[in-house]
Amino acid sequence: MLIRRELPGDEAAIREVVRLAFATPENPDTIESPLVDELRADVGWIPALSMVAEIDGEVVGHVVCTRADLGGAPALGLGPLSVRPDRQRQGVGLALMHAMLGAADALGEPVVVLLGNPAYYFRYGFRTAAGLGIISPEEQWGVHFQARPLTSYRGEKGLFGYAEPFTRL
């Protein structure tokens, strides 16, 4: 498996991986798949923080972080994290998350914030964002709204705001 930055020409493969990762029989067309395209067109897009997992030359996973705001300070919003269903539970998501956190840390980013399953993201050092003084834009997100401080984190607090395309979900 190779974890690498997204390259021009990867867009269709990423779109399909995201669609497959989130699709259900009741909802085969997901909101997450077009979201990645919208994020790519947004001012919050950080090309170095859109990564794919490739196996035998095929894109099987994707993760992205985009610029977010934390009480007026820069932060990152992670999501979506997507792994093709036939490659789930094989370490693809683990590899993508470790690569993303390492890349974000190397860029001097202070904190990564996400909305997701606490049982899954705990293994990567995420914890309830409220415990760090990071205020969710939606109170009902509760413990699913999580943050992972990085090396440059200096205790930034306040209301968190995702990149604009997230607000249309």
pLDDT cut 70: percent of the chain above it: 99
Burial class of residue 163, CB neighbours in 10 A (0-12, 13-18, 19+): buried
Nearest to 76 by CA among 38, 36, 103, 56: 103
Q: For residue 28, is pLDDT > 80?
A: no
- The pLDDT tens digits for 51-89 are 999 999 999 999 999 999 999 999 999 999 999 999 999
Question: Cα–Cα distances in Å, from 166 out to 5, 54, 59, 128, 151?
Answer: 22, 26, 24, 20, 26
pLDDT number for residue 63: 98
- The pLDDT tens digits for 34-55 are 999 999 999 999 999 999 999 9
**pLDDT level of residue 33 (50, 70, 90 thresholds):** confident
- In which domain, by residue range, is 45 found? 2-168
Greater pLDDT, 168 or 101: 101
Residue type (1 letter), 92: V
Q: Distance between CA atoms of 29 and 103, rounded to whole angstroms?
A: 30
Q: Which H or E element spans position 118?
A: helix 118-121
- The pLDDT tens digits for 133-166 are 999 999 999 999 999 999 999 999 999 999 999 9
Q: Is the pTM of this model over 0.75?
A: yes
Q: For residue 169, is pLDDT > 80?
A: no
Helices (H) and strands (E) in the chain, counts: 4, 9
pLDDT number for residue 140: 95
Q: For residue 26, is pLDDT > 90?
A: no
Number of domains in the chain: 1
pLDDT number for residue 111: 98
Q: For residue 8, is pLDDT > 80?
A: yes
Structure tokens at 125: 């050092």
Q: Distance between CA atoms of 50 and 39, rounded to whole angstroms?
A: 10
pLDDT number for residue 29: 78
Residue 131 sits in a domain whose CATH number is 3.40.630.30
**pLDDT level of residue 21 (50, 70, 90 thresholds):** very high
